[in-house]
Amino acid sequence: MLIRLDYADGSQRLVDVDTQMAVRNWDANGNFWVPIQQEASALTAIDVVVERPQSQAVFQRATLSGFGEASARNYSRIMLYMLICGTLLVPIVYDLLFFRVLRARFLFWHLAMTAGTLLYVLFNSGLIIVVMPEIPNLLRYAGIFVAMSLTILGLVKFSLQVLEENLASRRLRRVLEWSALANLLFAILIAFDIEFLRIRVIDLYLLSVLPLLAGMVVVLASALLRQSRAAAFLTAACSGLIIAGTAQVFASLGLFGMAELIDEAIYVALVILVVGTSAGVGDRFLIIKGERDRARLTAKKLGAMANSDGMTGLLNRRAFDQNRRLSAGHALLLCDIDRFKSINDTYGHQRGDAVLCHAARAIEGVIAARGDGQVFRVGGEEFAVLFKAATPADMRAFAEAVRAAIEVSADAASAYDMPDITISIGGVLGEGQLMHVAFADADGALYRAKEGGRNRCEFAEL
∠ CA(27), CA(28), CA(33), 5° rounding? 10
Q: How far apart are CA 26 and CA 66, in angstroms?
A: 16
Q: How far apart are CA 355 and CA 381, in angstroms?
A: 9
Rounded to 10 deg, the angle between the 229-252 and 260-306 helix axes is 150
Q: In what order do the strands lie in the sheet with 423-429?
A: 374-377, 382-388, 330-337, 423-429, 457-459
Rg (CA), the chain: 40
What's phi and psi for 430, nearest 5 deg? Answer: -75, 140
CB distance 41 to 6 below 8 Å:
no
CB distance 422 to 407 below 8 Å:
yes
Q: How far apart are CA 55 and CA 198, in angstroms?
A: 8
Q: How far apart are CA 242 and CA 322, in angstroms?
A: 59
Beta bridge pairs of residue 385: 333, 375
Strand 423-429 to strand 457-459: parallel, antiparallel, or no bridges (unpaired)?
A: parallel
CB distance 448 to 426 below 8 Å:
yes
Long-range contacts, stretch 49-55, CB < 8 angstroms, 24+ apart: 49/1, 49/2, 49/3, 49/4, 50/1, 51/1, 51/2, 52/198, 53/199, 54/141, 54/190, 54/198, 54/199, 54/202, 55/199, 55/202, 55/252
Q: Which residues are catalytic?
A: 381
∠ CA(96), CA(99), CA(105), 5° rounding? 120
CA 369 and chain centroid, separation: 46
∠ CA(374), CA(380), CA(381), 5° rounding? 65
Q: How far apart are CA 236 and CA 238, in angstroms?
A: 6
Q: How far apart are CA 178 and CA 217, in angstroms?
A: 16
What does each C-alpha distance from 332 to 361, 391, 433, 435 come to in angstroms?
18, 13, 11, 9
DSSP secondary structure, 120-177, as one string: HHHHHHSTHHHH-TT--HHHHHHHHHHHHHHHHHHHHHHHHHHSPTTSS-HHHHHHHH
